[in-house]
A and B are shown apart, each in its own frame.
Chain A
Amino acid sequence: MSVAGNSTAGEQENKVVSDVVIRFAGDSGDGMQLTGNNFTDATAVYGNDLATFPDYPAEIRAPAGATFGVSAFQIYFGSEDVSTAGDHLDVLVAMNPAALITNLKDLVIGGLIIADSDAFTDKNLARAGYKSNPLEDGSLDAFKLLAIGITKQVIAVVKPYGLSHKFAVRCKNMWTLGLTMWLFDRSRDEAIAGLRKKFAGKPEIAEANIEALNAGHTYGETAELPSGVDVYKVPAADVAPGVYRNITGTEALAFGLIAGSQLADLPLVFASYPITPASGVLHTLSMQKHFDVVTFQAEDEIAAICAAVGASFAGSLGVTSSSGPGISLKGEAISLACAAELPMVIINTQRGGPSTGLPTKTEQSDLNQALYGRHADTMLPVIAASTSIDCFEVAIEASRIATQFTTPVLILSDGYLSNASQPWRVPDVNDFEPFPVKFETNPEGFSPANRDPETLARVWAKPGTSGLEHRIGGIEKSFDTGDISYDSDNHQKMTDLRSEKIDGIAKYIPEQEVAIGNNSGKLAVVGWGSTYGALFQAVKRSRDAGLDVSQIHVRYLWPLPSNLEQLLSSFDSLLVPEMNTGQFASLIRSSFLIDAQKLNKVSGQPFKISEIEEAIKAQMESVK
């Protein structure tokens, strides 16, 4: 939290700060995600820029009070450009001892803890591993502590609504929300409207939650709070005018696919199999049937991609979506789509691995799989989304490249992007350049081997077109006729052609630009994917501190932008931070023979800005 100034209002001091990080943490059944989302909406309306980081366990309902069952929602908001969910917490809301013990390490010294003292029972303390009650033993003296018996307060407040004890206790998240809204001067209107909508069929539950929300707010206004706990003012951010909404990467991907299929003038067939954290795209698109969209939940990952391949063969834009383990299963069918040269989009929402790994945590470790994870020489375009918002444009780009070059295109997103939300200045879809597909209809001179001499895209003739009946398949095809061919020279020619086609896409993608900084200099921080925000802030702060460092963030991971080699060569040194063991750094080295220093983190958590800043400082010193 950066303090920008003080103003005194009555007995309480209103502090003006430029940015704040809050984390709501509790049991996975405590409703922390809902609390966080409500606070996010109120913050967006207030006009702050923001970024969020929902972090929840793989277990749907872990045993109450267990440390592995802690669910957290973090929001970073401020009056300036916010591009990550923040490093260190200014405020930690801990609904039980497990939430406190697992999150306290991230709280800044002097930060505020709001704790439900009713949940700090002997049983819960023991479960979390506390020998004594931290709310009472002085171990939290370095922080501001607001220990309130929230559960008891809530039960008393909602009593008139006649809820069972279980439902009454569940209102405590709204009470806590009310208190934090008071603390940061947020409006409760949206949350109240949201509760009435969510519990439309159960008005007593809606009203009880609203009562709890208001009671939490009133508590802040009226209780004698310890010194240093104040109402904070975070001025609105200066953002471009327009219509805004909050959007997660999942929604942005789904909407981007609809936009992409519309721009390609194709129906969308989305075939998928549930897997965390990718399922949201299937859920979101399943609600958009009024568009030219068919969704299909297949029996497994293989069937999902095969149905998408079949749909593309039949003239739709076939799309499938999964996470790393599912993409492994799809590998053979991706190669079929490469061999048959059919357009399709494959989305990998990456998670921690290998194997089941960390299903709900984020990682960037499927880059090598995306680039190389198939049998034989089957390169395909790979593009990565860098922010939740960016998922929208990336989905459109994938649709464009797939249909213009008749190739499968792989999108890399990750668990962080899929769940995190950002305020989005909603674009007008009419501003995007359409790329309508022209199916072949003319039988004259038709061969399934015909291709565009410029792009090398294979002709796309869909079943149902009279006179163009033809066969395609996975067996090697004659360059001239498209018929089966086992000829050795022909296989060489076709292999060369397939890679030439993919490499040639570099001519049809934008040149790489510098995100912040200069086109040359001492150090470039080179990244891809969801690390964008942390890298941007770290480079910005380092530049503010006078360091000659620039940021290059790559969306097109294959083929790489045509000017990337020249651009990277213009820096004395490269630092490549990744949430894997150095896969992109290896790609840079092998593609360009340029040295690139690795900075790797695979803890299931995103990079902190400070971690990048330290690495920048260290590398600047070593290249002096």
Chain B
Amino acid sequence: MSASEQKIAVKDLVSDQEVRWCPGCGDYAILKTVQKVMPELGVPRENMVFVSGIGCSSRFPYYMNTYGFHTIHGRAASVATGVKLANPKLDVWVVTGDGDALSIGGNHTLHVLRRNVDLQLLLFNNEIYGLTKGQYSPTSKVGTKSPSTPDGSLDMPLRPCTFAIGAGARFVARSIDTEAKHLASVLVRAHDHVGASFVEIYQNCTVFNDGIFDHIKDKKSAAETRLVLEHGKPLVFGKENEKGLRLNPIALKLEVVDLGEGGASEGDLVVHDETNKVLGQMLAELKSPEFPVPIGVLYCSPTSPYHTVVYEQRETVRESKEAADLNALLRDGHTWEV
């Protein structure tokens, strides 16, 4: 039995490198979940490739006993595009952060999504620069105090899922570092989706931005502050599922309503439809504390991935031409004999 036919165990995916994130970093939890999910995907280990840029999250490939490439700041998506173009059989994962993917690498994130390169892009969003010691990031809330913004940051933050849908991503999802079960299900969905799969993972930075997602993560308040998305199910939340989201057709926006006597009925609520891009955009815009934060698959509407159209076009060209012969190419067109 060749190595590729053997069932991979979680331990097979653990590299021999000592993990060097700060104690309590959300990255540990994500790493563990990824290592747990990967054996279930039916991909031979030798075909798994993790590509990263620069930042705390980008150390990720060193800890996966797969093929891995720790590249340069912001460019993981571009390197990964080259990997996938060169060998479409490979199962490519990009691990990146809010600074890496949305600041220095924003352009490449935009283009890898619109091109629909078949890969999973995991964006660990901790709303801060960790590796460079705590400067504010493009997802930091206005007013974030950091070494470079001691009096509070001034620029408007970017919402990663809104950006992704706007860029033309065909799969956009969100999960939370420590929610192993939910994260695992989202990762499986991201992998199942053929094309660029964008996954924002709320990740806690214990050193520079500790606790910013506590209101969503806290078991006591989570039912009120999260909206767990399920395709075909109404948008309900709350301890007793007593609240929901309804579309206000005049204002063209979602609004929170109470269910039950004197309130709205379940039939009034929006039913989640992953294939509806406009709904996906509305969900991506919802933020605390006015709204619960949606987690799960916000949008999924597959289309042909980039490598497929590239290689199909090449096949079409090949069918219309003589077999490739370099000597013939060199002599193609106008020649003369002396």
Asked whether any CB of chain A lies closer than 8 Å to the CB of B159, the reply is no
**Cβ contact within 8 Å between B3 and A307:** no
**Cβ contact within 8 Å between B321 and A315:** no
**Cβ contact within 8 Å between A307 and B107:** no
Asked whether any CB of chain A lies closer than 8 Å to the CB of B90, the reply is yes
Quick one: which of B35-69 are within 8 Å of A by CB? Answer: 44-49, 51, 61-62, 64-69
Quick one: which of A30-48 are within 8 Å of B by CB? Answer: 41, 44-45, 47
**Cβ contact within 8 Å between B82 and A309:** yes
Quick one: which of B218-233 are within 8 Å of A by CB? Answer: none
Residue of A with least CB distance to B111? A299
**Cβ contact within 8 Å between B51 and A244:** no
Chain B residue contacts of A474, Cβ below 8 A: 70-72
**Cβ contact within 8 Å between B86 and A314:** yes
Contact of B78 (CB < 8 Å), options: A306, A316, A464: A306
Contact of B327 (CB < 8 Å), options: A429, A464, A471: A429
Most chain-A CB neighbours within 10 Å: which of B3, B69, B310?
B69
A190 to B67, CA, bound (A): 55
A262 to B329, CA, bound (A): 14
A467 to B80, CA, bound (A): 21
**Cβ contact within 8 Å between A464 and B2:** no
Known contacts A269-B86, A333-B72, A310 near B51 by CB under 8 Å: yes
A468 to B49, CA, bound (A): 12
A333 to B72, CA, bound (A): 7
Residue of B with least CB distance to A298? B78
Asked whether any CB of chain A lies closer than 8 Å to the CB of B83, the reply is yes
Contact of B81 (CB < 8 Å), options: A262, A300, A303, A467: A303
Asked whether any CB of chain B lies closer than 8 Å to the CB of A591, the reply is no
Asked whether any CB of chain B lies closer than 8 Å to the CB of A472, the reply is yes
Chain A residue contacts of B303, Cβ below 8 A: none
Asked whether any CB of chain B lies closer than 8 Å to the CB of A332, the reply is yes
With an 8 Å Cβ cutoff, the count of chain B residues facing the other chain is 60
Asked whether any CB of chain B lies closer than 8 Å to the CB of A465, the reply is yes
**Cβ contact within 8 Å between A255 and B330:** yes
Asked whether any CB of chain B lies closer than 8 Å to the CB of A296, the reply is yes
* Contact flags A205-242 to B (C-beta < 8 A → 1, else 0): 00000000000000000000000000000000001111
* Contact flags A289-304 to B (C-beta < 8 A → 1, else 0): 1111010101110111
* Contact flags B293-322 to A (C-beta < 8 A → 1, else 0): 000000000000000001001100110011
B36 CB to closest chain A CB (Å) equals: 18
* Contact flags A439-472 to B (C-beta < 8 A → 1, else 0): 0000000000000000000000011111111111
**Cβ contact within 8 Å between B85 and A311:** yes
* Contact flags A306-343 to B (C-beta < 8 A → 1, else 0): 11111111111010000000000000110010001000
A246 to B331, CA, bound (A): 10
Chain B residue contacts of A239, Cβ below 8 A: 338
Quick one: which of A466-507 are within 8 Å of B by CB? Answer: 466-475, 483-484
Asked whether any CB of chain B lies closer than 8 Å to the CB of A245, the reply is yes
**Cβ contact within 8 Å between A303 and B46:** no
Residue of B with least CB distance to A428? B327
Residue of B with least CB distance to A247? B330
Residue of B with least CB distance to A470? B67
Asked whether any CB of chain B lies closer than 8 Å to the CB of A267, the reply is yes
A241 to B66, CA, bound (A): 56
Contact of A310 (CB < 8 Å), options: B81, B110, B318: B81
Asked whether any CB of chain B lies closer than 8 Å to the CB of A259, the reply is yes
A517 to B45, CA, bound (A): 61
Contact of A306 (CB < 8 Å), options: B17, B75, B314: B75
Chain A residue contacts of B317, Cβ below 8 A: 289-290
Chain B residue contacts of A483, Cβ below 8 A: 17
**Cβ contact within 8 Å between B323 and A472:** no
**Cβ contact within 8 Å between B85 and A473:** no
Chain B residue contacts of A267, Cβ below 8 A: 86
Residue of B with least CB distance to A291? B324
**Cβ contact within 8 Å between B46 and A336:** no
Chain A residue contacts of B90, Cβ below 8 A: 314, 463-464
4 closest A-B pairs by beta carbon, nearest first, are A310-B82, A473-B70, A307-B82, A306-B78
16 A-B pairs, CB-CB below 8 angstroms? Answer: A190-B334, A241-B337, A255-B330, A259-B326, A290-B322, A294-B314, A299-B107, A309-B82, A311-B83, A311-B86, A463-B67, A464-B90, A469-B66, A471-B69, A472-B69, A474-B72
Give 14 new A-B contacts, CB below 8 A, not counting A240-B338, A243-B336, A245-B333.
Answer: A243-B337, A262-B326, A269-B86, A291-B329, A294-B314, A296-B81, A313-B83, A314-B86, A314-B90, A315-B87, A318-B86, A332-B72, A463-B83, A473-B62
